[in-house]
Every structure is written in C-alpha cells, then in structure tokens.
Amino acid sequence: MRLVLVGPPGAGKGTQAKRIATHYGIPNISTGDIFRSNVAEMTELGELAKNFMDEGELVPDDVTIAMVRDRLGRDDTEPGFLLDGFPRTVPQAEALNEILDSYDVALDSVLKLQVDDEEVVHRLSGRRICRSCGHTFHIEFDPPTREGVCDLCGSELYQRDDDRPETIRRRLDVYHEQTRPLVEYYKARDLLRIVIGTGAVDEVKARAIEALEQPVA
Ligand code: AMP
C-alpha cells in the first residue's frame, strides 16, 4: 500500500494517518512531524523550516522534496508507506512520481479528508498537544481531565505556534491556493478517494478503510 493523505490543516490527517498506517502495517511519514523534530533539535533544516512554519507558509519545494526523497530511500518503506502532508504542491506531486518511478513502484491511492473551513478554524484553535507523548486534545471536544496536563503521561500540553488564529487563516489560504489543485491532479489520474472528515475518530477511520478497499469511483 502506497498512500497519500491530503486535506486542509485540521482535517485530522495526523490522527487518521497513524491509525491507517497501523491498519496496513506501513510507516506513517509526516513531513510536518519531520520538520517539527528538526526545529526541536535545532538542526540546519529546522532553522530553515521554522520561519516558514511560524508564518503558516510552505517550506520551499526543493528542501521538502530532498527530505522526502531521503526518507523514502529507507528500507522500511519497501512494503509501502503513508505520506501525511506531502505532496502539498503540484511540483511536489511530480517529484514524488519521479522518486517512485526510480524504484519502479507507483501510488495506490490518494485519500482526501474533507472538512470545511469553519470547522478547521474551530478544531485548530482549540488543539493542545502533549510535549512528551504527542497525544492531541481539544479544549472543547476532547478536553484533558486537568487543564494543561496530559491524561496519558502527566506532561504539559502546549499549543502549536502555527495554531494561532492569524496563522490558521494563512495556512487555509495556502491550502486553497497551492494544495487544492492536487485534488484535480490526482482525480485525473484515477487515484482520488474522498472521505468526509467529520464525526468520531473511529468512524472516520472506518470510512477511510472502506474507501481504500473499494475500486476508485
Ligand atoms: P502539518 O503538520 O502537516 O500541518 O505541517 C506543518 C507545517 O510544516 C506546514 O504549515 C509547512 O510550513 C510545513 N510543511 C509540512 N509539510 C510540507 C510540505 N509538503 N511542503 C512544504 N511545507 C510543509
């Protein structure tokens, strides 16, 4: 299974990516997570990415593509992979085709998680993440028992810098301008499957697996 997950920020891509990747026994590759760990470790890549991320802008294609090329070269991707947050532009999608061609493989499906803008703003502005285990809460939909403290490991919860309201709006604009064209791109290649991203996490996962098991409509 070689999968790509697309959708606006806050569609639940990260949450679903983990579950879908576990279901198929494939690695979940999140470019956002790789950038965030580089920022935390203050690597050269992290320093470069941080400014773009804080503004809600995309990290330049050449940097992002090189990072993904490197990641897809590891042995654990042989049985397949799920890409969460990549590609996000048409040039990235074309680079992905080239990378996969060089291994004589191809994508099986592109799953789009559909959530409207109003819901995205609501979800992201209330999102809180555990500094230690990465578990995600929502101050309204899924609050921790003690405010600001992770129920799972007791560590502090934080708000991502790019989950501030002004940055959320910019991320949404970037999505509509640069990432939405990918939906047409993959539809034209008969790879696109659309799943409604609202409802309980397990319901959305079940819908996603069902969509992936059906032939493309
Ligand atoms: P995410 O966790 O997927 O919402 O990504 C967080 C941020 O990382 C984005 O707003 C971008 O600044 C950066 N980023 C993640 N994936 C990509 C990508 N494929 N291309 C460019 N920038 C990316």
Banded model confidence at residue 109, pLDDT cuts 50, 70, 90: very high
What pLDDT is attached to residue 217? 65
Alpha-carbon span 82 to 28, nearest angstrom = 5
The fold of 2-213 is Rossmann fold (3.40.50)
| Residue range 157-176, pLDDT digits in tens | 999 888 988 899 999 999 99
Could you tell me the strand order of the sheet in which 157-158 lies?
136-138, 127-130, 157-158
- In angstroms, what is the span from residue 89 Cα to ligand 1's centroid? 11
User: pLDDT value at position 152?
Assistant: 96
Tell me the pLDDT tens digit for each residue of 116-146: 999 999 999 999 999 999 899 999 989 999 9
Ligand 1 center–CA 40 separation, angstroms: 15
64 lines ligand 1 (CB under 6 A): yes
Closest residue by Cα to residue 116 from 200, 164, 175, 166: 175
* pLDDT averaged over every residue in the chain: 94
Looking at residue 165, its pLDDT comes to 87
Please determine, for residue 76, whether its predicted confidence score (pLDDT) is greater than 90. yes
Mean pLDDT of all residues in 62-81: 95
Q: Rounded to an integer, what distance in angstroms lies between the CA atom of residue 42 and that of residue 74?
A: 23
pLDDT of residue 74: 95
Q: Is the pLDDT of residue 215 over 90?
A: no
Q: How far is the CA of 98 from the centre of ligand 1 (A)?
A: 21
pLDDT of residue 159: 94
The rounded Å distance from CA 168 to ligand 1 centre is 12
Q: CB of 12 closer than 6 A to ligand 1?
A: no
pLDDT of residue 126: 94
Examine the pLDDT at 214 and tell me if it is beyond 90. Answer: no
Angle at 92 between CA 179 and CA 212, to 5 degrees: 70
Residue nearest to atom 8 of ligand 1 (CA): 32
Query: What pLDDT shows up at residue 7?
Result: 94
Helix runs in the chain, H state only: 13-24, 31-40, 44-55, 61-72, 90-102, 117-125, 165-174, 181-188, 201-213
Query: 77 or 161, which is more confident?
Result: 77
Instruction: Give me the mean pLDDT over the 190-215 stretch.
Output: 93
Catalytic residues: 13, 88, 127, 160, 171
Which residue out of 31, 68, 180 has the highest number of ligand 1 atoms within 8 Å of its CB and is therefore the one to mutate?
31
Sheet with 81-84, edge to edge strand ranges: 28-30, 81-84, 2-6, 109-114, 192-196
